[in-house]
Structure 1
Amino acid sequence: MSTIFKSFEFVFMAYLMRTVLGYTADLSHALQKRDQDIVNAVDVIFLTKIQLQQMRENGGWDEFLKDVHSFCMKYGIKIPKMEDFYRPVGRDRRFYVKITNLHRYHVDMFLSVIDRQLRELNDRFDEVNTELLLCMASFNPIDSFAAYDKANFVKLAQFYPDDFSRSEIDHLPCQLQLFITDVRGDERFRKLLKLVLILPVATGSVERVFSSMNYVKNKLRNRMGDQYLNDCLVTFIEREFFLQVKDSDIVKRFQAMKDRRVQIKL
C-alpha cells in the first residue's frame, strides 16, 4: 500500500483532484448559500466552465505536469518517461495494456476527468436552464424589485408557448408595467415572492441534512435514538456556529443542569 502512495500515479491523481476541485470550490459554495444570489451563481458557473476549458486546451497540461514533476523531485518519487509503456503500480504484468504513459496520463486521466466535470456542468446548467435562472432573478423583491427587468420577463414567457399565445406575449410589456407598479406597494406579495425564490435553496438544505445523516448515524452508531440523532445533526450541520462556543461555557451549562458529585474543570 505504501508503494502505491509513493508512486507517480498516486501523486498525479491527487494533484488532479485538488486542481479540479479547487476550480469548482467557489461554485459549490455559491450554490449552497442560504441567501442565494442567482445572478452571481450563474456567473460563477460560467467562469468555472471557462477555467476548466482553459485548463484542458491552453497549455494546462504542460503546466500541470510541471507541478507534478516538481513535487515528485522534491520527495524523491520516480518519474516515468512519457514515451515508455504504462506499467500500473502493484499489478501483474498480464494486466498491462500496451499504451504509452503519455496516453495514460494525458488522455485517460487528465482529459477524461476534466471532460467528465464539464459534461456534468453542461448537463445540469445548459443554456436553457441558465437562461431560466437569469430570468427568474428578475422576480427578486429586494430593494423594491431593483432587479426587475421587463425584457427578461418577456423572454421567460417565451419559454412557455403553451401558456402564452403570441398576442399575450406582445401585450405582456404593458401588463408588466402595471404589475410592477402595483406589487412594489404590496408588502404581502413581496414576501410571497421571496418565499418562492428561496424554496429551491431550502430544498437543497434538506438534501444536505439527509446526506449528513450518513456521517452521524453510521454502521457503528445505527441504534441511535431520534432525539440524540437530532441533537447530533444540529451540531454537525451548524458546526460553524457551534465552533464559536467556548468550552468553558459548555462545561458551565452542563454543570448547571443538575447537582453533580464531581465538578468538571478545564
Structure 2
Amino acid sequence: MSFKNVHDDGASNDNRGIAASLIEKMENYQFVFVMYLMRRLLGITNELSLALQQNDQNIVQAMRLIEAVKVQLQDLRETGWEAFLEQVRSFCEGNSIPVPNMEDHMRIRGRSRREGQVITHFHHYRVEIFCEVIDLIAQEMQNRFPETSTELLLLLSCLDPRDSFSKFNIHKLLRLAELYPEDFTMTERMMLEDQLATFIYDVRHDPDFINVGDLGGFARKMVETGKHIIFPLIYRLIELALVLPVATASVERVFSAMNIVKTDLRNKMGDEWMNDSLVVYIEREVFATIDNEAILQRFQKMQTRRMQLPPLSLTHMPHISSTNAGIGSSSSMHK
C-alpha cells in the first residue's frame, strides 16, 4: 500500500497526517537528490562489498574491485556532476517536483535569520552533499585499504596457482617476505630466492598441480606430495597468504553481523560477550557441526559447579539398574 492510499483511505486522522507529512518530504528536490546519490554510490560499491564478504576470496579480483571503486568515485566527483544533476532534474520534472535554480540563494541551516548568512543552491548540493559524501566514502576506502595493505594483497596474489602460476614473481615474493621480518630472517630470505626458482620449475612440470584452482587447494596438495618439507620457506609464505584473506573477510562479516547481534535490547553488552556472540554467529556453519552434548560437558568441566548438568539426550544417560534404583527389591518394599 502506497502513502497516497494511506492518505486517501486511512482509518484515522493520525495515519492520514503521517502519510501526508511523508509524502511532502519525499516530493522534495533534496530527497530525490540524496536518493539518487545513494543509489549511485551503492551501485559502485556493491560488487566489492559482496566480494569481501565471501569466505573463499579471490585476492586478485578483490584488488581489482578496490581499484575500480576508487577510480569510479574519483571520476564521479570530477566529471559526473553534470550528468548526475540532469538525471535528478529529469526525474523531478517528470513527477512535478519543483527544481530549484542553482544560482539562487538559500539560508545556511542552523543559522538564525538575524545572522543572514546565505549560500547558493549550487554550493549546497555540489559541495555540501555531492562532494562531501563522495569524499567520506573515498576516505573510508583509503582507511580500510591503505597502500600498504593493497601492496600486501597484490604480493600475495603472486602465489595464485591458476593458469600455471601465471602471476608468479620471485622479486615480489621476496618483497612479501621482507614485510614479515619476524617470520623470515635475513639468511632465510637469501635461501628463499633459490627455493623459489627451483619451486616454480618443479610445480609447473608436476601433473599433480595442473588442476589446482585456489591457494587452499595448493597448500593441501603441497602437504599431500611432501613439498611442504622440501620447500619449507615457500610453504610458510603460503600459510601467511591463507591467513590474511580470512581476516579481511571476517572483518567485513563482523560489520554486517554486528547490527544483528547487538540490538537495541542488547546495547549494554560487554566487549568480551559481544565478541564471543559474534564469533558464534559468523562461524555458525562451523559450530553447527559440533555436538551440543560436547559443548555442555565442556562447560561443566570448566570449573566446579554446585550441580551436575543433565545430559541432553537419553543416549548419554548412565545405565540405572533396578537394583541400584531400589525398584522391585524386597528391602525397598519393606522400607
So what's the TM-score if we normalise by structure 1? 0.68
Shift of 1:33: 1.4
Are 1:113 and 2:161 counterparts?
A: no
Q: Which moved more, 1:177-186 or 1:126-135?
A: 177-186
Q: Which moved more, 1:2-11 or 1:95-104?
A: 95-104
Alpha carbons 2:159, 2:168 under 8 Å: kept: yes
**Structure 2: gaps (5+ residues):** 1-20, 204-218, 229-234, 267-276, 286-335
Query: Which of 79, 88, 92 is the matching residue for 2:99?
Result: 79
Are 1:177 and 2:197 counterparts?
A: yes
- Partner of residue 196, structure 1: 243
- Partner of residue 5, structure 1: 26
Q: Which moved more, 1:16-25 or 1:79-88?
A: 79-88
Shift of 1:141: 5.8
**Structure 1: gaps (5+ residues):** 221-229, 239-266
Alignment partners' CA distance in 1, 2:43 and 2:70 = 13
* Aligned pairs for 1:1-266 within 5 A: 1-2=21-22, 3-58=24-79, 60-87=80-107, 93=113, 97-140=117-160, 148-160=168-180, 164-165=185-186, 169-178=189-198, 181=202, 185-187=222-224, 189=228, 193=239, 196=243, 199-200=246-247, 203-204=250-251, 205=253, 208-214=256-262, 219=265
Shift of 1:48: 0.8
Sort the Cα spacing of 1:142 and 1:197 in 2 relative to 1 into closer, same or farther, 3 A.
farther
Sort the Cα spacing of 1:198 and 1:42 in 2 relative to 1 into closer, same or farther, 3 A.
closer
Q: Which moved more, 1:71-80 or 1:3-12?
A: 3-12
Alignment partners' CA distance in 2, 1:24 and 1:108 = 21
Shift of 1:103: 0.5
AA partner of residue 223 (structure 2): D
Residue aligned with 2:105, SS: coil
Alignment partners' CA distance in 2, 1:186 and 1:143 = 21
Alpha carbons 1:34, 1:201 under 8 Å: kept: no
Sort the Cα spacing of 1:103 and 1:212 in 2 relative to 1 into closer, same or farther, 3 A.
same
Give deviations 1:148-193, integer Å, cap 9, x for gaps.
432321121233467543x754553212234564876532758x84
Give deviations 1:200-219, integer Å, cap 9, x for gaps.
256344554444324xx654
Residue aligned with 2:125, SS: helix
Give deviations 1:125-164, integer Å, cap 9, x for gaps.
1222111001122344678866543232112123346754
Alignment partners' CA distance in 1, 2:178 and 2:242 = 24
Alignment partners' CA distance in 2, 1:111 and 1:30 = 26
Residue aligned with 1:33, SS: coil
Give deviations 1:57-110, integer Å, cap 9, x for gaps.
12x100000000011101111111111112579997569741111111001110
AA partner of residue 117 (structure 1): I
Sort the Cα spacing of 1:96 and 1:115 in 2 relative to 1 into closer, same or farther, 3 A.
farther
Sort the Cα spacing of 1:20 and 1:122 in 2 relative to 1 into closer, same or farther, 3 A.
same
Give deviations 1:20-61, integer Å, cap 9, x for gaps.
111111111111112100100000000111111111112x10
Alpha carbons 2:158, 2:169 under 8 Å: kept: yes
Alpha carbons 2:102, 2:121 under 8 Å: kept: yes
Alignment partners' CA distance in 1, 2:97 and 2:149 = 46
Alpha carbons 2:44, 2:72 under 8 Å: kept: yes
Alpha carbons 1:7, 1:89 under 8 Å: kept: no
